């Protein structure tokens, strides 16, 4: 963990508390931008975009190496970080990026390519960052309250930030190419929210269509299941890891999705772990396929409370 906040406090009874907090090492990838040409300083760029295609693992490795790894400019290299190659892993895809958040870019590539990002502290006392194939533990690991592996849980759904999109392509004024896109009506929450997306770099109708489809997927709302893990039998970092597919049985329904986040808190009681399955409202990816079941489950709970 990277410590970003140090907090000292003293209780009324004189007990001194020291709280250290910060993100996991993987989050530090968000400290870098994707340079169009990572070999040149930002004021000497001669190309508009960094573009590449191939297996997702290759693209992730290349972006990491050139923007914070050993192939980056000396001042941009992350101290103590080793990039593990993921050569040949994942589905074939492509990337076109310019001054975007590095973590966002490699996360999107991992999602598209069916991979999971990781950052681990190795025996060489270096942080190893890379991508791996997703491990599906959805059958071997089903978290349940009646089995003692699951504590309290919470589900959440969030309406989309926008429902209707006008995508602007090439051209000027009245001659500019414009195209409209909308998310499915059942995902709109009965609200129409319009936004404009500038896509001058989109090539022709196909480019606008791809941009519009991506907007639909990114804005279809979000859903997440947050779980308190009882680590008496299963332990994060030993029996399963971020990026694995897990299952949780909640009120008679089984939800299966990728483990996207884990919050770890240490206190006098020991280690407490909260897990998040699904994309969550802070991710720019399409909502999980079970989002409508979350709505149905929340409706069921409301009906029980009304009785």
* Mean pLDDT of successive 10-residue stretches along the chain, which has 307 residues: 84 88 81 96 95 96 96 94 95 94 93 89 89 88 84 82 90 90 86 90 81 82 78 81 85 82 79 77 42 47 46
Angle 214-217-221 from CA coordinates, rounded to 5°: 140
pLDDT in the model for residue 279 = 57
Question: Cβ distance 36 to 67 under 8 Å?
Answer: no
pLDDT in the model for residue 160 = 84
Q: Using CB atoms within 10 A of its CB, is residue 198 exposed (0-12), middle (13-18) or buried (19+)? A: exposed
pLDDT in the model for residue 289 = 47
Strands, DSSP E only, in the chain?
5-10, 16-21, 50-55, 81-83, 92-97, 115-121, 127-133, 142-143, 150-158, 164-168, 178-182, 194-198, 222-229, 245-250, 253-267, 270-278
pTM: 0.64
Q: 3-class SS at 264? A: strand
């Amino acid at each position: 963990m990277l410590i970003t906040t140090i907090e000292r406090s003293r209780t009324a009874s004189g007990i001194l508390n020291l709280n250290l907090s910060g993100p996991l090492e993987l989050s530090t990838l968000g400290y870098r931008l994707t340079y169009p040409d990572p070999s040149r300083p930002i004021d000497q760029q001669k190309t508009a975009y960094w573009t590449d295609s191939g297996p997702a693992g290759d693209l992730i490795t290349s972006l990491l190496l050139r923007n914070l790894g050993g192939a980056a400019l000396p001042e941009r290299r992350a101290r103590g970080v080793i990039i593990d190659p993921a050569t040949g892993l994942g589905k074939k895809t492509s990337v076109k990026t310019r001054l975007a958040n590095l973590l966002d870019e490699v996360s999107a590539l991992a999602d598209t390519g069916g991979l999971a990002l990781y950052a681990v502290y190795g025996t060489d006392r270096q942080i190893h960052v890379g991508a791996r194939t997703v491990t599906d533990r959805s059958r071997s690991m089903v978290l349940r309250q009646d089995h003692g592996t699951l504590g309290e849980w919470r589900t959440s759904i969030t309406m989309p930030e926008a429902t209707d999109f006008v995508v602007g392509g090439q051209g000027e004024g009245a001659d500019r190419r414009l195209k409209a896109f909308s998310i499915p009506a059942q995902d709109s929450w009965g609200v129409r929210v319009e936004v404009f997306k500038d896509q001058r770099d989109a090539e022709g109708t196909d480019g606008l269509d791809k941009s519009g489809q991506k907007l639909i997927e990114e804005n279809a709302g979000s859903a997440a299941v947050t779980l308190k893990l009882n680590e008496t039998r299963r332990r994060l970092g030993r029996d399963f890891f971020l990026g694995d597919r897990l299952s949780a049985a909640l009120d008679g329904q089984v939800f299966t999705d990728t483990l996207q986040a884990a919050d770890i808190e240490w206190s006098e009681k020991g280690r407490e772990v909260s897990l998040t399955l699904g994309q969550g409202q802070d991710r720019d990816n399409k909502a999980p396929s079970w989002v409508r079941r979350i709505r149905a489950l929340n409706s069921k709970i409301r009906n029980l409370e009304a009785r």
